[in-house]
Amino acid sequence: MRREEEGFTLIEVIIALAIASVLTAAIVLIYGSFHKETSCVELKLNAQQRARVAMSIMHDDILQIGANVPDSANPIEPGMSSSAVTLRYRDPVSDERVKVSYRLSGNLLEREYCNVAISFDDGSWNVCKTPTTYETLVGDIASINIEYLDADGLTTGDEEKVRFINLYIEALSSVDCVRQDASNRVKLETRIRLRNFPLIFI
């Protein structure tokens, strides 16, 4: 009696290959989505870190506004802007007279740091010991917004009445993230009390 050899028919092989192809495609799609979400989280964390660095540096300078500065020197530069600021203080560590300016140039947050060379009693506080230029602090910053408040917490355009500053920074994560609203941006905000100015309520 002859033994018949067992095996798969051509149709069974084709069906098995089709199922395997569908499963492979599904796995690739799931992995791709997971990888993109993971990359998005990492990029957002990097963006958050950049925003925190920018916030920390600006916070430290803003906190010192007006320290041992004569009224004639304008601790906060007149003509205040929501996206740029120039401020003056005397450094508590080095005792240097300092003028610091911030601005957003494209997506770069830039800072100009000037050690003032003139007499402390001179009102201008504008002449630097050495020529200075703006240096990039942090990249991929979408926006900064500086809000000036008086002692009552109300917005003011008078630099002499400023007692608080609200600082808002948005950093870009560089990609659109899956399942997240627009949101390739990370936003941080803080309110800074200018400790070298008296809180006078009128």
Torsion of CA 134, 137, 138, 144, to 10 degrees: -70
Q: Which two tokens stand for residue 125?
A: 């506080």
- In degrees and rounded to multiples of 5, residue 168 shows phi and psi of -120, 130
pLDDT in tens, 120-166: 455 567 788 888 889 998 888 888 999 999 999 999 988 888 899 99
- The pTM assigned to this predicted structure is 0.71
* CB burial of residue 144 (10 Å; 0-12, 13-18, 19+): buried
pLDDT in tens, 26-58: 877 776 666 566 667 777 888 888 889 999 999
* Pair 100, 87: CB distance under 8 Å: yes
Q: What is the DSSP letter of 113?
A: E
pLDDT at res. 23: 85
Half-sphere exposure of 165 (CA within 13 A, CB side): 31
